[in-house]
Amino acid sequence: MARLLAHGARSFHTHAATGLQGKVGIVTGASSGIGLATSRALAQEGMKVVMVSRSLDKLESCKVKVPGASCWPCDVADAGAVHAMVEDVIKQVGKVDVVVNCAGVMYFTLMRNLLYEQWKKTIDTNCTGTVNVCGAVLPFMLSAKSGHLVNVSSDAARQVFPALAVYNASKAFVNVFSKSLRAECVGTGIKVTDIQPGDTATNLIMENTDKEAASKVGVSIGETVGKGFDRGSVLDAEDVASAIVHALKLPAHVGVHEMLIEPVDQMFGDPTAMGVTPDGMYAPHLTTGPDKP
C-alpha cells in the first residue's frame, strides 16, 4: 500500500488566502441591507470602505456602524456622477481594489398594471447602475493589473418568479453581463464574481405599490422581506456578506465566477416548497410566501 501511495499519490500545493487588510473597496447600495452588511464585513477585514448610496443622510447614519468608512452620495444610474465618484475616490485614497455592486430595487408588478416608473427604476438601478460602476472603475483596475468586481444579482437570474417579470430580466442581465465582463478580463488579473442570493431579510420591497401583484404571490407591502419566516427559510444580509468576503479572500489563481446562496429550506425552482396552493395563471399564491432580494 505504501508503494502504491508513493507512486500514485498526487502532489497538492497549499496556497495562502488573500488578505484584505489595507485594500480599498467601493460598496454601492451601502445604506441598507446586503450593501450595509457587506460594508461592515469588509471593514472588519481591515479594508478601507467607500460607502455609496443616493442618500447622504442615510449613509451618514450608517457610517457609525462601519469603522473608518467614507461616504459618497451617488445615483449609480447617472454615468457622469459615477465616473466623478470613482475619480474622486482614486484621487483621495489612490486606488480601488474591490467593487461590490449591491445597489438594487425590486418591485412586484403585473405587466398589465403598467407601472412604467417602477420598471424604469428597476432597469436603471439594477442594470445601468451595475454597468456604470464596473465601467468607471475598470480602467483603473486594468492599469493596476488587479482588482475584483462583485455584482450581486439574485437566484431570479436562474429561475423566474411570478409578478417579477422586469426584475427577473434585470437580474438575468446582471448574470450575463458579469460572465461577459469576466471573459473580457481573462489574463488581466481582474476577477469578476456574480453573487446570487435567495430570500434575504432586507427592506427591498418596502416601496412596492402594486397590491394586486403582492396579493398574487402573498407578499406584504411595506414590510421586511422574510417577516414571519422560520429560520431555515430566510437568509440574513450578513450571510450574503460572508459569502462575498469568502470569494474576495481566495488565492489569486482561484475565481469564484458565480455563487448561488439560498436558505437551506428554500427549494430552488419549486414554488410548492413554501406552502403554495396553485391559483390560476399567476400561481403560486402563498400564504407566507418568499420575497426575492
Q: Beta 276-277 vs 285-286: how paired, if at all?
A: antiparallel
**Facing residues of 164 across strands?**
109
Q: 208 CB contacts (<8 Å, ≥6 apart)? A: 106, 107, 108, 214, 219, 221, 222
Q: Which contiguous run of DSSP H or E holds residue 5?
A: helix 2-8
d(CA 183, CA 188): 10
Q: Which strands, in side-by-side order, build the sheet including 98-101?
A: 70-73, 48-53, 24-28, 98-101, 147-152, 190-197, 258-261
How far, CA to CA in Å, does 140 sit from each of 10, 72, 238?
40, 18, 29
3-state secondary structure of 257: coil
- Percent helix / strand / coil, the chain, rounded to 5: 45, 15, 40
- Mapping DSSP to helix (H, G, I), strand (E, B) and coil, where does residue 43 land? helix
Q: Is 116 a catalytic residue?
A: no
With beta carbons less than 8 A apart as the criterion, state whether 189 and 146 touch: yes
Q: Pick the catalytic residue from 107, 116, 167, 282.
A: 167
Burial-class residue 84 by CB neighbours within 10 Å (0-12, 13-18, 19+): middle
Q: Which residues are catalytic?
A: 167
